Amino acid sequence: MTQKKLVRYNNPVAAFTLVELLTVMAIIAILCALVLAAGSGIMKKAMRVRATNEIGGMSAALEGYKTDNGIYPVGNTTATSGSILTGPPAPGAYPLDPVKANAAAYQNSSEALYQALTGQAYFTATPVAGVKSYISLKQNQIGIPAGPMSYIMDPWGNAYGYSTGDNKTPQVLYPNNGTGQFDLWSTGGTAGVTTSNPTPINSWITNWQ
């Protein structure tokens, strides 16, 4: 009986070359960068939309407050009077930055705004019977929710700017100061005047533009 010989064929295994692998990795890296950039842009836009909506809600609440009380709430607290966000009429002197040197002024005015619109000193406080609330806020909108005093916080984690300009000269950057109206704004995460950004107010979200 004749035995058949087994013939083995060495089939080459399909594989990527080093150049192909590097090309694929480069394409993936580019796609990831594009997705991250798009995601960052969408997030920034969403934050600005949220700030716009919150300013609209607070503005409506302030009108309700004025209807009941005859005036808008003054932009400072009793304990920290004089902290109104109304500097001298010179752009370099405005409290543009809510984080650094002007953090206390922003926070104090926003505390007064919170107390007037909610009728309570801080977010976790028990509501006082008979005290009217003009707005409903969520905890992620509040700075220092456990007190002793809360303030209203924008999507960037800064206190909203609020001013009535009740005892200062009307100013250019805050156009409603001294007019019996109010100015309400978020700096949109921008800092003060810098060489690369000499007019940061152009990127603010406000009730006057």
DSSP labels, 21-50:
HHHHHHHHHHHHHHHHHHHHHHHHHHHHHH
* Residue 115 covered by a domain: yes
* Residue 6 covered by a domain: no
* Helix then strand then coil, % of the chain, to nearest 5: 40, 5, 55
* Mean pLDDT in order along the chain per 10 residues (209 residues): 61 70 83 74 91 96 93 62 44 63 83 92 90 93 94 94 60 56 87 72 84
85: Cβ–Cβ under 8 A, 6 or more apart, which residues?
A: 75, 95, 102, 105, 106, 109, 161, 162, 163, 174
* Residue 13 covered by a domain: no
* Residue 128 covered by a domain: yes
pLDDT for the residue numbered 2: 61
* Residue 170 covered by a domain: yes
13 three-class SS: coil
pLDDT for the residue numbered 48: 95
* Residue 73 covered by a domain: yes
* Residue 5 covered by a domain: no
Joined together, the tokens standing for residue 33 give 């960068």
* Residue 71 covered by a domain: yes
Distance CA 74, CA 163 (A): 7
Residue 40: φ, ψ to 5°: -65, -40
Burial of 138 per CB tally in 10 Å (0-12, 13-18, 19+)? exposed
pLDDT for the residue numbered 102: 76
pLDDT for the residue numbered 24: 83
Q: Which domain holds residue 122?
A: 19-206
pTM of the entire predicted model = 0.71
pLDDT for the residue numbered 200: 76
How many domains does the structure of the chain reveal? Answer: 1
Joined together, the tokens standing for residue 164 give 């009535």
- Pair 83, 24: CB distance under 8 Å: no
Residue 142: φ, ψ to 5°: -115, 135
